[in-house]
Amino acid sequence: MRPPVTGHASTKASNLMKLPRPAHWARLTNPRSTRVPLVLQRVHTIADRYGLRGTLALVMISLGAALPAGTARGDQRRDFMLDIQPPGTFLTVDYFGVGGQVTLAHRMPIYGASNDLTLSASVLPSYSLGEATARADLRILFVNFAGSVSYRSVWRELTFAAGEDSYCVECDRAARRKIDPLFGSAPGSDDFLTAEGEASVLLPFNEHLVMQSLAAVRYEDRHDRSFDWFNASIYDKGVVGRWETSLYLKDRDWGGIGPYVQLLMLPREGEHVAQWAAGLNAVARLGLISRNDLLFFTFLMRPGDSTYGDHPFYMPVRSLLVYRMILEL
């Protein structure tokens, strides 16, 4: 599950919070700010004189990372990622613990400010695989259409034999942990192409409630009965259907959180098997940089399914914590 895609429906800023807010720590790196005490302006002067401004900025970043999240507000809403984003060229950097992703995207308005076209290319290196993707998004009001092609190289590939009365043999989480130890070598690898078409809609019910729904069809030229690290499931080569819906309760001062439901139609032995999972999504601007960063958490669970989930966990869950920076070029 990707973090919420920016560039959908806009929402108005809340007028309820009229009390003075703490200054964002990133303002300390701006000597022109009227909120910066005189002593910090003197520090900037000394740093400029001795060529230490970069070092000072690094110190401020480290200090900001240690401050409580509640003070890292600045002038930007903490639910900004659910608003329409401006046109331009952006570099997005994601970090998710065992890997990361770098995306270069260009967004341009078409037929007025209510619609836009986004072209992007991304590279994702991680513990289990690497992937390069080219993607195009067309947003018309609240509806987004997207198409993408990817090349994936899985260097921790897990493939299983067919069972006499089951889809696969020794493919549950406990068995996968034995053949795929965290610090050991993987039993195999695989390289294949994928192509996906996607349609999504974001419906703002009011200032504090928004629903995001997505339907996608994806072709994967993978090995049969192989484990997928994104969906945390085992399935064959072919077409995968995906439907996801999230309902966000959001606020400008703390971000958004809400229930998340996913339905996968997985190709198995010439048929498509429905797989439901439910959980939650949460997202907020973290404030480690002055603007356009966020922390995204997604969690899904399938109680009673011994083959579902990330096998380093001892429960049928799929979870991911992502930190994202969006840098305007």
Give the tens place of pLDDT for each residue, 183-205: 777 778 999 999 999 999 989 99
Tokens representing residue 137 in the block: 């998004």
Distance of CA 234 to the CA centre of its chain: 22
| Residue with tokens 């069972």, as numbered in its chain | 163
| Termini Cα distance of the chain | 26
Distance of CA 122 to the CA centre of its chain: 13
Q: Which amino acid is at 172?
A: D
Give the tens place of pLDDT for each residue, 138-180: 999 889 999 999 999 999 999 999 988 899 999 999 999 999 8
Q: 279 and 298 in contact (C-beta within 8 Å)?
A: yes
Q: 191 and 152 in contact (C-beta within 8 Å)?
A: yes
**91 vs 158: CA distance, rounded Å:** 33
| Per-residue pLDDT at 91 | 97
Give the count of alpha carbons within 13 A of 227, CB side only: 29
Alpha helices by DSSP H, 180-221? none
Distance of CA 221 to the CA centre of its chain: 24
Please give the average pLDDT of every successive group of 10 residues along the chain, which has 329 residues. 47 36 38 43 50 46 41 67 84 94 96 91 96 97 95 95 92 92 82 97 91 97 96 97 97 94 97 97 93 94 94 91 95
**163 vs 269: CA distance, rounded Å:** 12
Alpha helices by DSSP H, the chain? 38-49, 53-66, 173-179
| Per-residue pLDDT at 82 | 73
Q: Which CATH class is domain 80-328?
A: mainly beta
| Per-residue pLDDT at 111 | 87
**78 vs 249: CA distance, rounded Å:** 13
Distance of CA 17 to the CA centre of its chain: 29
| Per-residue pLDDT at 164 | 87
| Per-residue pLDDT at 3 | 56
**279 vs 260: CA distance, rounded Å:** 5
| Per-residue pLDDT at 184 | 75
Q: What are the structural domain ranges in the chain?
A: 25-71, 80-328
